[in-house]
Amino acid sequence: MKLVLATDDTGAPEIFASLQGEGQSMGMPVAFVRLSRCNLACTWCDTAYTWRFTGDNRPHRSAIAYDRKANQVSLTPEEAAARIAALGQRRLVITGGEPLLQAPALAAMLKHLPAIAVEIETNGTIAPPPRLDVWIDQYNVSPKLAHSGNPAALALIPERLDAWAAEPRAFFKFVIAAPEDVAEVLALKARHGLAAERIFLMAEGTDSAALRARQAWLSELCCKHGLRMSDRLHIHLYGDRRGT
């Protein structure tokens, strides 16, 4: 059993220490591991190198097709755990791609990291199996709205959203590109009973100027509807780069 990871700019596994840039844990020092492969295809995805490989014609605004061999690397759970432990962090963020596609290997990896707190960033379409769930301290659930380009039947599965709403470890992060996207969030909030204090609205953008422009009106909508706003701290600090 192996984990399939994304690569950094050197071709090494994308495992690194940084600050969590988004959501409930923003600003905390963490270790990151970025996995490859995703079951959705967001047109604005900023990590398309984890899924849009040559031959994958799912739409993306960049239209770039990445070479799979150059952008994927496999490690055993033990190898991945050793690299994470060597970073010396007390918290781990597992991101992607969609990490829950590799749940069995992740569970095997986390057995070697019993003292570390674990966050998983997920699109919310896949249920975590019990053998993985027991290791997770926080779920960062990012359901994909209509502007992502994903069909609602694939991206917004009612039974999964109901289950996440009932999960106290789950926080919800919605990517917002235009003011009308907030109406879709409010409809999901009402339909599935999402707690307002666990909802973050985050401006879509991969540079500081775009984020600040959208945050100007997004902050007003957060105040109006009693929702939290998330920045993308890593973009301001490091830019839109791998391994940050």
221 inside domain: no
pLDDT, position 157: 98
In a domain, 205, yes or no: no
Report if residue 110 sits inside a domain.
yes
User: Is residue 207 a part of any domain in this protein?
Assistant: no
Residue 159 lies inside a defined structural domain of this protein = yes
**Residue 202 forms part of a structural domain:** no
Burial 69-90 (b: 16+ CB within 10 A, else e): eebbbebebebbbebbeebebe
Q: List the one residue out of 90, 108, 96, 99 whose CA is nearest residue 25.
A: 90
CB 148 within 8 A of CB 61: no
In a domain, 103, yes or no: yes
Query: Which residue's structure tokens are 């919310």?
Result: 124
Instruction: Give pTM, 2 decimals.
Output: 0.97
What CATH number is given to the structural domain containing 109? Answer: 3.20.20
Number of domains, the chain: 1
Q: What is the reported pLDDT for 60?
A: 96
Question: Which pLDDT belongs to residue 169?
Answer: 98
- Look up the domain containing 82 and give its range: 3-173
Tens digit of each residue's pLDDT, the chain (244 residues):
999 999 999 999 999 999 999 999 999 999 999 999 999 999 999 999 999 999 999 999 999 999 999 999 999 999 999 999 999 999 999 999 999 999 999 999 999 999 999 999 999 999 999 999 999 999 999 999 999 999 999 999 999 999 999 999 999 999 999 999 999 999 999 999 999 999 999 999 999 999 999 999 999 999 999 999 999 999 999 999 999 9
pLDDT digits (tens, 9 = 90+) for 131-157: 999 999 999 999 999 999 999 999 999
